């Protein structure tokens, strides 16, 4: 097993995750089986209880793990399926060690950060890196380990020390370190001092960079590369320049151009791979290249209004954005997302901030399609309901994801069934169950909040008479689909018959056939919703089907897309 650690210096949030997943992709194009581990040095056990506005989206895995959004990048770039244990947090490591201490596993010993925590980290990495993650079902050959935060933080110190020991544990031939740094441009000059300081910090902790990936707003000058090489004590081929590019899908190609693999394979003594795997790798590279370069040549735009409540931090909707991008690439359209804060669509704002109200509605009305993504809590709900109503009444393509399905149902119950005050029990705790459009799921824990929702992959079966459904056709007329979930509430089973009799059909249900999973209007361009989150399984080369439907309908080419071979390979 070869390990490639990707750490960061200077500041966080400069694209370490993209560089790490692009490195993984390049290794994969060599025909290697690649897996990845993300280390988050915070105390939370998982990302499930963190605010999306602070930390970005909570990504959900097949096994129901609620994890850091970078795991989504790895799954998308590497086409792999990770488990909750591929996301290591300080909380997980400490609770594991404390549990062992209580069991008496360290009897007689003082339990300490070094060696007990650091050993637990190393054992965890070794164990998890061996889990098969791709369709070969075989043990991976390379593991990318991304260390969150920046080296030098108090929080990450035990992980840095564990990795220092780890390079000797696995042998230096099997260990490479890429340190991601920042080269700011001040008054037109590329400044190397922050990188020099970051590398000095790294070395003082016993880690040596094999490669320094320098993020910069512009292309790095040769003189800058030479200076970094000299002051950081590395050769120029070990300095990789990663300037801003118009799409993150170009980053793997940018790294490849600079012969990153040549250095890395030499350092890691990676030899010949079997011919068949090598051919598969080459095919992957050419597909990637073709898709990204052909996308540069699309000029027609498709505009999607994203009506949500965490729009101030776009990372809150990272997988949704990626799914829209994947679908747009497939439809040969340039994607434009209009970010609409849903509360700005509400009547209250009309009275207090008329210009915001008009701006928000202008974006909704100008859009080719409307998307209401997932969310929690009552703020902004009325705005989402208004957007769903607008889409339904004006034949505008609409996709509601999770909460987006729930608001579309509430809207329909209020305005078509005539039950004016109806809403979700999530937003009105006093509403009687018989009047609520959306109710608490009976089998979900109402007290403990960590990891207790309906989570992870579950089957959704299409109902018998749903062959007309566009969603079903998008899934290649499959009988069932397998997608990931994260919710506590569901459509009220007491109302489903009445809703259907007015035309909104529940075309997909869970295996018990009691839980509503998909909605669709028949006489509409594209009015759909899913209780699951299709965005978690969207891939660059295989866009999520509901998103493909929305973007294709918004581009006016849904009928053409439905003629294509939409073979769906869902798996459990
Ligand atoms: N808040 C809603 C629920 O818990 C929707 C969740 C979501 O959109 N992920 O059911």
CB count in 10 Å sphere of residue 212: 25
**Mean pLDDT throughout 165-178?**
97
For residues 151-170, average pLDDT: 95
533 an active-site residue? yes
- Which pLDDT belongs to residue 297? 74
Residues 6 or more apart in contact with residue 254 via CB below 8 angstroms: 22, 242, 243, 245
Split at pLDDT 50, 70, 90, the class of 41 is very high
Give 542's DSSP letter.
B
Cβ neighbourhood burial of 195 (10 Å; 0-12, 13-18, 19+): buried
Residue 13 has pLDDT above 90, yes or no: no
User: Percent of the chain at pLDDT above 90?
Assistant: 85
Ligand 1 centroid, distance to 98 Cα (angstroms): 33
Residue 48's pLDDT is: 82
- Name the catalytic one among 141, 402, 458, 490: 402
Residue 278, pLDDT score? 94
pLDDT digits (tens, 9 = 90+) for 401-454: 999 999 999 999 999 999 999 999 999 999 999 999 999 988 776 666 666 789
Over residues 180-205, mean pLDDT = 94
SS (H, E, C) 54-97: HHCCCEECCCCCEECCHHHHHHHHHCCCCCHHHEEEHHHHHHHH
Give the mean model confidence (pLDDT) for residues 258-275: 94
pLDDT tens-digit series, residues 387-397: 999 999 999 99
Q: What is the CA radius of gyration of the chain?
A: 25
CA 406 to ligand 1 centroid distance, Å:
8
> Looking at ligand 1, which residue's alpha carbon is closest to its atom 6?
487
Kindly state if the Cβ of 66 falls inside 6 Å of ligand 1.
no
pLDDT (tens digit, 9 = 90+) per residue, 290-326? 887 777 777 899 999 999 998 888 889 999 999 999 9
Nearest CA to ligand 1 atom 1: 376
Q: Please say if the pLDDT value at position 571 is more than 70.
A: no
Cα 487 to averaged position of ligand 1 atoms, centre (Å): 4
Q: Are 173 and 269 in contact (CB under 8 A)?
A: yes
Note if 402 is an active site residue. Answer: yes
With helix as H, strand as E and coil as C, how does 339-364 read? EEEHHHHCHHHHHHCHHHHHHHHHHH
Q: Please, which pLDDT band fits residue 200 given cuts at 50, 70 and 90?
A: very high
Tokens 């009445």 correspond to what residue?
498
- Token reading at 94: 């400490």
Reply yes or no on whether the pLDDT at 519 is more than 70: yes
User: What's the pTM?
Assistant: 0.92
User: Of residues 92 and 49, which shows the higher confidence score?
Assistant: 92
Q: Look at ligand 1, atom 8, and give the residue with the nearest C-alpha.
A: 374
Tell me the pLDDT of the chain averaged across its residues.
93
What would the pLDDT profile of 96-112 be if each residue is shown by its tens digit? Answer: 999 999 999 999 899 99
């Amino acid at each position: 097993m070869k390990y490639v650690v990707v750490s960061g210096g200077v500041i966080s949030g400069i694209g370490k995750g993209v560089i790490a997943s692009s490195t993984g992709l390049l290794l994969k194009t060599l025909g290697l089986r690649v897996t990845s581990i993300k280390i988050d040095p915070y105390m939370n056990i998982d990302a499930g209880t963190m605010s999306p506005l602070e930390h970005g989206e909570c990504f959900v895995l097949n096994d129901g793990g609620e994890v850091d959004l970078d795991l989504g990048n790895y799954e998308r770039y590497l086409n792999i399926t990770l488990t909750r244990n591929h996301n290591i947090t300080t909380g997980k490591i400490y609770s594991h060690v404390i549990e062992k201490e209580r069991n008496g596993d360290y009897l007689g010993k003082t339990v300490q950060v070094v060696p007990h925590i650091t050993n637990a980290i190393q054992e965890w990495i070794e164990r998890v890196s061996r889990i098969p993650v791709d369709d070969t079902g075989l043990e991976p050959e390379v593991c990318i380990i991304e260390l969150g935060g920046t080296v030098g933080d108090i929080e990450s110190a035990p992980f840095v020390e564990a990795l220092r020991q780890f390079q000797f544990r696995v042998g230096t031939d099997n260990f490479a370190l890429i340190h991601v740094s920042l080269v700011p441009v001040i008054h037109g000059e590329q400044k190397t001092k922050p990188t020099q300081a970051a590398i000095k910090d790294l070395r003082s902790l016993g880690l040596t960079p094999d490669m320094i990936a320098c993020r910069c707003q512009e292309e790095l000058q040769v003189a800058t590369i030479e200076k970094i090489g000299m002051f950081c004590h590395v050769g120029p081929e070990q300095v990789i320049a990663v300037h801003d590019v118009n799409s993150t899908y170009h980053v793997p190609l940018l790294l490849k151009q600079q012969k990153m693999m040549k250095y890395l394979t030499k350092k890691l003594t990676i030899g010949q791979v079997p011919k068949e795997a090598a051919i598969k790798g080459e095919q992957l590279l050419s597909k990637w290249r073709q898709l990204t370069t052909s996308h540069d040549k699309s000029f027609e735009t498709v505009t999607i209004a994203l009506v949500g409540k965490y729009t101030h931090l776009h990372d809150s909707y990272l997988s949704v954005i990626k799914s829209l991008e994947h679908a747009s690439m497939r439809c040969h359209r340039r994607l434009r997302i209009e970010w609409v804060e849903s509360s700005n669509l509400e009547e209250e704002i009309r009275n207090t901030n008329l210009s915001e109200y008009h701006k928000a509605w202008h974006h909704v009305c100008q859009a080719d399609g409307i998307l209401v993504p997932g969310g929690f809590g009552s703020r902004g709900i009325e705005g989402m309901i208004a957007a769903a109503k607008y889409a339904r009444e004006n034949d505008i393509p609409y996709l509601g994801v999770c909460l987006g399905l729930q608001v579309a149902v509430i809207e329909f119950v209020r305005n078509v069934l005539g039950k004016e005050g109806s809403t979700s029990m999530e937003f009105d705790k006093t509403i009687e169950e018989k009047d609520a459009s959306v109710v608490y799921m009976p089998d979900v824990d109402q007290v403990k909040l960590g990891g207790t929702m309906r989570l992870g992959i579950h089957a959704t079966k299409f109902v018998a008479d749903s062959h007309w459904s566009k969603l079903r056709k998008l899934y290649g007329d499959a009988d069932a689909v397998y997608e990931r979930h994260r919710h506590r509430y569901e459509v009220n089973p007491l109302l489903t018959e009445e809703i259907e009799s007015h035309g909104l059909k529940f075309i997909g249900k869970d295996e018990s056939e009691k839980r509503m999973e998909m909605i669709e209007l028949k006489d509409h361009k594209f009015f759909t919703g899913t209780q699951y989150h299709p965005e978690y399984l969207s891939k660059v080369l295989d866009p999520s089907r509901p998103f493909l439907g929305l973007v294709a309908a918004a581009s006016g080419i849904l009928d053409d897309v439905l003629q294509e071979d939409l073979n769906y390979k869902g798996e459990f």
